[in-house]
Structure 1
Amino acid sequence: MSVWVVSDGRRGIENQSLGLAEALAELAPATITRHIVRWKPAFDRWPSALKQPWMLAEGQDLLAGPDFPDIWIATGRATLPLSVRIKGASKGRTFVVQTQDPRWKNRAYDLIIAPKHDQVSGPNVLSILGSPHRITPDRLRAAAPQFADRIAPLPHPRVAVMIGGTSKAFDLTPEHAATLADVIADTVEEAGGSLLVTFSRRTPLIAQTLMMQRLKPVNGWIWDGAGDNPLFVMLDAADHILVTEDSANMATEAASTGKPVHILPMVPLKPQTKFARLHQELQDHGATRPFDGTLPHWTYEPLSETHRAARVILAKRANRS
C-alpha cells in the first residue's frame, strides 16, 4: 500500500498527515512518501478555487502521474487544490483523506478527519477528539535512549512544559509569560522536582527570553532550539505535562501519553468557543485539568484517536473497493 503525506511542510501541519500514515503502516504494510506543496509566490495567496497545477513551483506537479498513491493524506490550505483533483487524475484509484475542516468542496474527499470541536458534519466526515499526531507510547520509548544521560539525573516529579505562542486566538505577552514562569518555577521547586521545557515557533522572542531567565534556576533542561527536538524524550520522561491552551495539537499530543496534563492559561484575543469545546472534551475524557499551581496525580485512558482514524480509513477504502 502506497501512502502519500501531503502538506506545506510546516511541522505542526505535516505531523497530522504523517501521524495518520504511520498509524496506517502499523495496521497494514505501507510505503510512506512525503510531499511538500509549494505554490509560485505570485499565486500562493490566491483562493483555492482559482489555483491550477501549473501555478505550482517547479517539480511540484503531483497530479502528472503515471504513478499515484493508494491513499492520499493531506493537511492544510495549500493542499486543497490538489486534493480535489487527485481522484480524477488517478481515475478513481486514490483514496483521498483531508484532515482539518477544508471549508471548500467538502464532498470532493473520500474522508475528512476533523476535530470534534470544529463541529464539521457530513456523510464523509469522521470527528475525532483533537487532531491526528505522531505521539505513541512506542515512539516515545524509542526516543528515550537518545538523551538518557541528560534525563537520568533529574529528580522526580519531572514536569514537561510545552509553551505555545501568539495566534489569531491567543497572545503571550511579556507580562503574562513572566507570571506563568514564576508560578511554574515555584510549583516545581516546592515539589522538589525538575523541568523539561520546549517552546513553539510561535513563541514571541521576548516572552521566551523572559521565561528562560525565570526558569533557568530550576533544576532541569530548557531546550534552546539547537539540535534535534527532544519533545518525544521529554514527554516520555515526564510525570506531569503543562501545556498552554492555545494549541489543539499540543494538548492532544500530551493527552495521548496517559499522564496528567495541566492546561496553562493564555491571553485571549477574542471569545474562545472552539477552544473551550476542545478543553471541555479533554477534561470530560479525564486527561486534563486547569493548572492551579499544584501537581496532583490522576490517571485516564490515553487518547488513541489517530489510530481510530487509521482503522476507519482502511475500512472505508475496503468498502469502496
Structure 2
Amino acid sequence: MAGFETQGLGIAEALGLKAELKRVSPPAPWRWIAPHGPAAPDANIKAPWPDLLIASGRQSIPYARMIRRKSKGKTFTVVLQDPRVAPSNFDLVWAPAHDRLEGPNVLSTLVSPHRLTRERLTAEAARIAPSVAHLPKPRVAVLLGGTNAVYTFSEQIAARIGAQLANLADEFHAGLMVTPSRRTGDAQTRIIRDALKDKPAIVWDGTGDNPYFGFLGQADAVIVTCDSVNMVGEAAFTGKPVYVIELEGNAPKFRRFLDGVYASGAARPFVGRLESWEYAPLNATHEVAEAIRQRLNQR
C-alpha cells in the first residue's frame, strides 16, 4: 500500500498542506466486504472531521463514506483509484485513464500522482553527486521492479537486461545507476550486478538511503521496468527520455497504460539502444491538486 500513500501525500503536498496520515486495517468480517458495507469501529477515526479527506485503497472506502456522511458533507472527500462503488459517494474521484472509470466527478490522468517535485530532484541529485562523479555521461538511471500479479521478472530476463545494460556501457559509453526494488529478487539483482561488475556502473546494495530520486535527478535518460505504473510515471515527470523494459506477462489495462505513455511521446520500449528526444513532462500530481483546489474554491 506504500504506492497509495505516496499518491495521497503527494497531492496534499502539492496543495501546500501537511497531511495527517491515518492507516486503517479493519478486522474480519469488515475487511472481507470492503469497499461495501459499513466501516469497522476504529478509535483512530473520529471527530473533529477534516475539511479535506484524501482516501486510497479498498479498505479506506467505508471510512471515507462514513466521514462524508457524519460531517454532513462538510468534509470534501477525495478518493484515489477506482473505489469499486459509485463515484457519486464522494466529491471527487481520481482514477488512472487505463481504468476507464467515468462520471461527472471523475478525473482521469495518464500517469499517477507522486511526491516528486523539481526541487526534490535537484536536491537529491546534489546529495548523491559525489558518489556518481566518476561515471561517464550520458548517465542512465535504471529502475528495476519485479514480479507481480501481472508480470514475471525471471532470472533469464535479468540476464537479458544485464547484457543489454553492459552493451550500453560499451557501445554508448554510458554510466549506469541501477536501483533494484524489494520485488526484483536477490538472484535477479546478483545476475545484473555480475553483468556490470567491470562496467562504469553503480548497483544500489539496499543499504543506506535509497538513491532512487538522486539517480533520476542525475540521469540523462531513464530505463524502467513496466510492472510499476508509479515508477513509469515518476520517470516521465523528469522530462528525460524514458525507456520501458517490457517483462513477460500482459493485462489489458497495463497494455492501455503503456500504449498511452508511448503515444504521449514520453517513453519508448527499450531495445538496447539510446536515443534522444524531448516531450512535455507528465505531472498528474499538479492536475489532481488543481482540480481539488478549484472545487474547494467553488464552495
Q: TM-score range by the shorter chain?
A: over 0.9
After the TM superposition, which residues 70-219 of structure 1 pair with which residues of structure 2 at under 5 Å, given as runs?
Answer: 70-219=51-200
Q: Secondary structure at the match of 1:267?
A: coil
Cα deviations by residue, 1:44-88 (Å, 9 ceiling, x for unpaired): 74121245332x4xx5x32x11x2222111221221121111112
1:225 aligned onto 2:225: no
Q: Secondary structure at the match of 1:149?
A: helix
Q: Secondary structure at the match of 2:19?
A: strand
Picking from 25, 29, 33, the partner of 1:47 is: 33
Residue of structure 2 equivalent to 1:12:
3
Give 1:216 deviation, angstroms. Answer: 3.0
Partner Cα separation in structure 1 for residue 29 and residue 119 of structure 2? 41
Stretches of structure 1 that go unaligned for 5 or more consecutive residues are 1-9
Cα deviations by residue, 1:230-286 (Å, 9 ceiling, x for unpaired): 111000000110011111111111001000000112011xx4221221112111211
Partner Cα separation in structure 2 for residue 201 and residue 24 of structure 1? 30
Q: Secondary structure at the match of 2:193?
A: helix
* Higher normalized strand content (fraction of residues): 1
Residue of structure 2 equivalent to 1:296:
275
Letter of the 2:32 partner, please give it.
W
Partner Cα separation in structure 1 for residue 264 and residue 201 of structure 2? 30
Contact 1:159 1:188 (C-alpha < 8 Å) held by counterparts: no
Give 1:215 deviation, angstroms. Answer: 2.6
- C-alpha RMSD of the superposition: 1.7
Partner Cα separation in structure 2 for residue 112 and residue 216 of structure 1? 47
Contact 1:216 1:222 (C-alpha < 8 Å) held by counterparts: no
Q: Secondary structure at the match of 1:33?
A: coil
Give 1:303 deviation, angstroms. Answer: 0.8
Q: Secondary structure at the match of 2:214?
A: helix
After the TM superposition, which residues 23-62 of structure 1 pair with which residues of structure 2 at under 5 Å, given as runs?
Answer: 23-25=14-16, 30-40=17-27, 42-43=28-29, 45-48=31-34, 49-50=36-37, 52-54=39-41, 56=42, 59=43, 61-62=44-45
Give 1:197 deviation, angstroms. Answer: 0.9
Contact 2:140 2:177 (C-alpha < 8 Å) held by counterparts: yes
Cα separation, partners in 2 of 1:246 and 1:44, compared to 1, 3 Å: farther
Letter of the 1:164 partner, please give it.
G
Contact 2:237 2:283 (C-alpha < 8 Å) held by counterparts: yes
Partner Cα separation in structure 2 for residue 146 and residue 314 of structure 1? 33
Cα separation, partners in 2 of 1:201 and 1:13, compared to 1, 3 Å: farther
Contact 1:84 1:105 (C-alpha < 8 Å) held by counterparts: no
Q: Secondary structure at the match of 1:283?
A: helix
Letter of the 1:20 partner, please give it.
I
Q: Scaled by the length of structure 2, what TM-score is found?
A: 0.94
Query: Which of 291-300 and 135-144 deviates more?
Result: 135-144
Stretches of structure 2 that go unaligned for 5 or more consecutive residues are none
Partner Cα separation in structure 2 for residue 109 and residue 129 of structure 1? 21
Residue of structure 1 equivalent to 2:216:
235
Q: Secondary structure at the match of 2:20?
A: strand
Partner Cα separation in structure 2 for residue 98 and residue 155 of structure 1? 44
Query: Which of 73-82 and 157-166 deviates more?
Result: 73-82
Partner Cα separation in structure 1 for residue 60 and residue 189 of structure 2? 32
Q: Scaled by the length of structure 1, what TM-score is found?
A: 0.88
Partner Cα separation in structure 1 for residue 200 and residue 39 of structure 2? 54
After the TM superposition, which residues 233-312 of structure 1 pair with which residues of structure 2 at under 5 Å, given as runs?
Answer: 233-268=214-249, 271-312=250-291
Give 1:19 deviation, angstroms. Answer: 1.1
Cα deviations by residue, 1:134-188 (Å, 9 ceiling, x for unpaired): 1222211122232221122221111101111111111111111111111112122
